[in-house]
Amino acid sequence: MTKHLSENFAWPKEFLWGSATAAAQIEGASHSYGKEDSVWDAFARKEGVIAGGDNLKVAVDHYHRYQEDVGLMRELGLDSYRFSTSWARIVPGGRSVNSEGLDFYSRLVDELLENGILPWLTLYHWDMPQALEEQGGWTNRDTAYKFAEYAEAVYAKLGDRVNHWTTFNEPLCSSLIGYAAGEHAPGRQEPAAALAAVHHQHLGHGLATQRLRELGAQELGITLNLTNAVPNDPTDPVDLEAARRIDALWNRMFLDPLLRGSYPEDLLQDVAGLGLAEVIQPGDLEIIHQPIDFLGVNHYHDDNVSGHPLIGDAPEAVVPTDAPKSSPFVGSEYVTFPSRDLPRTAMGWEVNPQGLRVLLNRLNADYADLPALYITENGASYTDELSSDGIVADTERCDYIFDHLDAVAGAIEDGVNVRGYFVWSLLDNFEWAWGYQKRFGIIYVDYETQERIIKDSGRAYAGLIAANRTMA
């Protein structure tokens, strides 16, 4: 691994070093201890929608192996662990609270605290009870109120020990990709439903944030996956317009209601007649625009955008299955993403680390009173090989992580208030529509035996954490 700025950078004394996971991707025990179907359990049973026909039944068995996994976190020297609670485990079938489900997270939190690791809790990482989806899911306004009730139940059990509360992780994915593209659960391809889902998730965030604040929660925020929409030809008005549209849909449709209390006017024009205006009720934006203490930024790549069709020799997109899909970009389905001459991960995502510095500076410049920023997900999938002597020499992932940390360090030097970094992911896991075909972990998991092996990237990350602690 080459030398990086981040290795000798004077990181802020209180900078948090962590890693992250999601309940559905790691827990397993998918129909045990009171848990019932989530939308992902149900989606995975559909023919041909998950690579390899994989499912979430066992995942990486974190439900039974959480103590071992926390031990690995301690070995890596993590300051914090970002995890999600499963709505389908805590309120199975969307009915009443399952105390056995809450007890699991209580044991996990205790284990983290006993090992000196800060719990960072996410309430929604896409595993809605399937029974609620059958009542309309996020297209149903009532789901936002049910989400706030679920948040209150989790706080009642864990609020005495958990200080950091994230309402939603990447609502773009569970709205646009789940309800318009059909690639994620619940697998619908309905543009109006996707926009309703966006607004109702925003409303759920506002209602839950209000309630948790009333109950005494100390640190409240949300995590968004954000991009730089880069015009393929910055002199071409067609490409500039396409980039504006993607920025509106991907970034500002989420940032502006949360941080400014309004939807962008250009976004409303782009999606006029597709149902968004019809679901916004008086007072909604005031509820959505709650003060938050932090904004989580998930970033893996930025996007080269064009308003022209792709040329004939453009490389084919890397997709998990042949299942029919639609564009997630409601009202701007014509937009294309031409390839640039950049390295790519196993997901087919371009690698452009400095894009993260650009993004963080843009947030800092565009939003007054921006809350503290945390990089809540950043990482990469590569083809990992376990050697005969039990080593995973994932050099590309090491460079990816440290190159992006260089970008974070640069943004801090630029004056951006970035207070932490959570590498995605702690463990190889169920990668949504990709099943177990793609590995993001800094810890290798043998899916047959459930053996865990820290990869070279994990060792390098642990070394940086240790060195930073020594300097501090």
**Catalytic (active site) residue 385:** no
Q: Which of 27, 133, 350, 377 is catalytic?
A: 377
**Catalytic (active site) residue 377:** yes
Q: What would the 3-class secondary structure string for the chain be?
A: CCCCHHHHCCCCCCCEEEEECCHHHHCCCCCCCCCCCEHHHHHHCCCCCCHHHCCCCCCCCHHHHHHHHHHHHHHHCCCEEEEECCHHHHCHHHCCCCHHHHHHHHHHHHHHHHCCCEEEEEEECCCCEHHHHCCCHHHCCHHHHHHHHHHHHHHHHHCCCCCEEEEEECHHHHHHHHHHHCCCCCCCCCHHHHHHHHHHHHHHHHHHHHHHHHHCCCEEEEEEECCCEEECCCCCHHHHHHHHHHHHHHHHHHHHHHHHCCCCHHHHHHCCCCCHHHHCCCCHHHHHCCCCCEEEEECCCCEEEECCCCCCCCCCCCCCCCCCCCCCCCCCCCCECCCCCCCECCCCCECCCHHHHHHHHHHHHHCCCCCEEEEEEECCCCCCCCCCCCCCCCHHHHHHHHHHHHHHHHHHHCCCCEEEEEEECCECCCCHHHCCCCCCCCEEECCCCCCEEECHHHHHHHHHHHHHHHHC
Q: Which of 170, 183, 396, 431 is catalytic?
A: 170
Residues with catalytic annotation?
Answer: 170, 377
